[in-house]
Amino acid sequence: MPADQSQNQPLVRPAVSNPSSGQNANPGGAPSFLFDPPTIQVKKGDTFPVNLLISGAQNVYSVPVQLNYNPSLLQLVNVSNGSFLSQDGQVVTLVHREDESLGQSQITVSRPSGAGGVSGQGTVVTVTFMAKASGQTPLTITRGGARDPGLQPITVNGAQASVTVQ
């Protein structure tokens, strides 16, 4: 398997104290979610996109995740499909349900019935937020993973990004 460029970033390697951060893909291990960008600075009132990436994935048919954010600082504006599950031209289904009072979004992206899984890395979804108030908050994948074409769960390491609203 070709080396993932993110594995060669020297700033990621020393973070052994938090191996579940999801920012360090492990070849041969569980795939990982990553936010791109992992650190965001934005002005109050602005909107900004954040890509949810998957790396090291094998035979993925669907990706269900729960995204958490601070609803007093951020408002979810849009969730759009990324290119990962449709990389072979298949049309994918994107379903999301928000609970704005809790700052949660349940997002599921699936390939069509009968389609096989896809492997590799890429953008699962792009989530767009509006900055409502000044402060700092994490974006976190609190529950997530993937499923193969037989709907068997595939463990995927979680991810976290940091958002600072000025």
pLDDT digits (tens, 9 = 90+) for 35-77: 999 999 999 999 999 999 999 999 999 999 999 999 999 999 9
Question: The domain 46-154: what is its CATH number?
Answer: 2.60.40.680
> Rounded to two decimals, what is the model's pTM?
0.81
CA distances from 166 to 71, 74, 135 (A): 16, 12, 7
Position 21 pLDDT exceeds 80: no
Strand 118-131 to 47-60 pairing: antiparallel
The pLDDT value given to residue 131 = 97
